[in-house]
A and B are shown apart, each in its own frame.
Chain A
Amino acid sequence: MRVAVVGAGPAGIRAVETLVAAGLRPAWIEESPDGGGRIAQRPPGAFRRDARALYGADAPRARALHATLDGLKPQLDWRPGTLVWNLDPRTRRLELIQAGRRGTLDYDRIILATGAMDRVVPLPGWTLPGVTTLGGAQVALKAQGVAVGARPVFIGTGPLLWLTALQYARAGAPPPLILDTTPLLTKRAGLPMLLHDPALALRGLGLRLALLRHAPIHEDVTPIAIEGAGHVQAIRWRDAAWREHVTACDAVAMGWGLKPETQLADLAEIPFAFDPIQRAHLPVRDAAGRSPVPGHYLAGDGARVAGAKVAEWTGARAALALLEDAGLPFDAGQAGWLEARLQGQARARAALERAFPYPARLAARLPDDTMLCRCEGVTAGQVRASAAPDLNRAKALTRLGMGRCQGRVCGLAGAEILAAQLGVPVARVGRLRGQMPVKPIPMDAL
């Protein structure tokens, strides 16, 4: 049996560990030069900081993941620096590109653990140099030792907002302020976290308290625009009392939680369903990670955003499902243990999502002249004027999401804008479908 695993973050690592323990030798494909994922991303070889300096409170988890990853590499077909740009679920063939060279890989069963990226809301001025995602600001500091600005403003909502801002303050790039779009009252919805994942809830509260020693946090803010000539110079925003402020800064990092990278699930013809908690269409799978397409499994934040700890569990669980479906011996006790943990975590996650919601109204109310699609230069007003009945029709009419990123960045905000214009629930406007190649590749590779 030929098994492939795509992605070497927390989910991929635990999936492969489980498969190898059962005697399988999967092909393991990772787009980055090394595994670890974003939370446990390792800098290139020339960097010297240790795990404690790089990952803080996540250092034990990162060290454990790296140890497993490095132990697995020599035991199987490890392919770092390799992009899966196409997947055909009928022939069960992957098309790859590695260092400019094209290749194929045939599989009988596959686990997709493709990870996530920041969920953003466009803002006037958000294409200016100096604007990054929160995750981007974190990667800059962790994997490159650079700050995206010496005086960066952090805007968005969620634990990553606090964590990234605190990491910057401690590294020597103190933020003048933190702008949180969620009202404090809404955050009370997160209180069940104390019950379902007390360690994470307390860590979050600790983060917030620590951050308050470095910078003021403004709640319930409404961003107006990022301003500057050729580079970020200020952010204009309204406070909860609707007073307007302009804050000087040399960078803006923005993020409202994460969204899964689902393009390969799309190519695998896995059906998607609207998830009201994450306010997005997500690939369908059962509690073990089986998709409705036989032989195709989903794990980690690439299936549904739930964080690194849950990613490890869903990775292991999907691998056990694969073993079971292949008629191989598998640890049913471990499978049951994992599913019980995952059920508890689902309640914690739901509380977290309610406490830090995607600010759909901000997206829906973007000024007409705001650039929505960074790739194709499509404005919010063009999408409204398209009068398209759904998002894919809007894509055809306006080129929204037709560019290099395939709507990864603008798709969710575009759906909110279109739904508000049509006066229908956002679930009704659908989603931008993934296309091959899932990321740009050289023409001569096609």
Chain B
Amino acid sequence: MLTRLLDQDRPPITLTVDGQPIAARDGDTLLTAILAAGLGHVRTGEFGDGPRAGFCWMGACQDCWVRVGGQAMRACSTLATPGMAVTRR
């Protein structure tokens, strides 16, 4: 499971994922925030092949897309901001 290890004394922020508030830290990407909150995945494969939680962490594999305010975004390359409303598919 994703584990916070280093440099984690950053200011706390709160955002929502599928309507649920989660605690994150200033500087977290959405991928870090969602997985560190224990939500387990950021999207679901379109072909019945289960949950996905990203893969490359550098904006190449396109396997961590979430929606923020109706817009599709890569969770690995989008910084979490206070009050952000994220939805997963």
Q: A130 with B4: in contact, given A100-B71, A375-B63 (CB under 8 Å)?
A: no
With A100-B71, A230-B40 as known contacts, state yes or no: A136 contacts B54, CB within 8 Å. Answer: yes
A48 vs B11: C-alpha distance when bound (angstroms): 12
Whole-angstrom CA separation of A402 from B32 in the bound complex: 28
A257 at the interface (CB under 8 A from B): no
**Given A38-B58, A127-B49, A377-B47, A231-B5 contact (CB < 8 Å):** no
Within 8 A of B (CB), among A27-75: 31-33, 38, 43-49, 53
Bound-complex Cα distance A374 to B49 (A):
9
Name the A residues within 8 Å of B47 (CB-CB).
376-377
Q: Is A150 an interface residue (CB 8 A)?
A: yes
Contact with A along B1-44 (1 / 0, CB 8 A): 11111111111000000000000011111001001100011000
- For A149, give its contact among B2, B32, B56, B60 (CB under 8 Å): B2
Give the tally of cross-chain contacts (CB within 8 A).
144
Tell me, in angstroms, the Cα distance from A408 to B60 when the chains sit together.
7
| B42-89 residues at the A interface, CB under 8 angstroms | 45-47, 49-63, 65, 71-72, 77, 79
Q: Is A409 an interface residue (CB 8 A)?
A: yes
Q: Which residues of B contact A440 (CB under 8 A)?
A: 62, 65, 72
A45 engages B58 (CB within 8 Å): no
- CB neighbours of A350 from chain B (8 A): none
Q: Which range contains the number of A residues in contact with the other chain?
A: 35 or more
Q: Please, which residue of chain A has its CB at the minimum distance from the CB of B60?
A: A117
Which residues of A118-143 are within 8 A (CB) of B?
118, 127-133, 135-137, 139-141
Task: Tell me the minimal C-beta distance from A135 to chain B in angstroms.
Answer: 6
Q: Are B71 and A442 in contact (CB under 8 A)?
A: yes
Q: How far is the CA of A251 from the CA of B72 in the complex (A)?
A: 26
DSSP majority for the A interface?
loop
The answer to whether A132 touches B6, judged by C-beta atoms less than 8 angstroms apart, is no
> For B59, what are the chain A residues with a Cβ–Cβ distance below 8 Å?
31-32, 439
- Residue of B with least CB distance to A147: B3
Chain A residue numbers with a CB within 8 Å of B77 are 32
**Bound Cα distance from A173 to B49, whole angstroms:** 29
Binding site for B on A (CB under 8 A): 31-33, 38, 43-49, 53, 100, 117-118, 127-133, 135-137, 139-141, 144-150, 171-173, 230-231, 250-251, 261, 371, 374-377, 403-405, 408-409, 439-440, 442
| A-B pairs with beta carbons under 8 Å apart, 30 shown | A32-B77, A43-B7, A44-B26, A44-B79, A45-B27, A46-B26, A47-B10, A53-B6, A118-B56, A128-B51, A129-B35, A133-B55, A139-B57, A139-B58, A140-B32, A145-B6, A146-B35, A147-B2, A149-B2, A173-B5, A231-B1, A251-B1, A374-B45, A377-B46, A404-B65, A405-B60, A405-B63, A409-B56, A409-B61, A439-B62
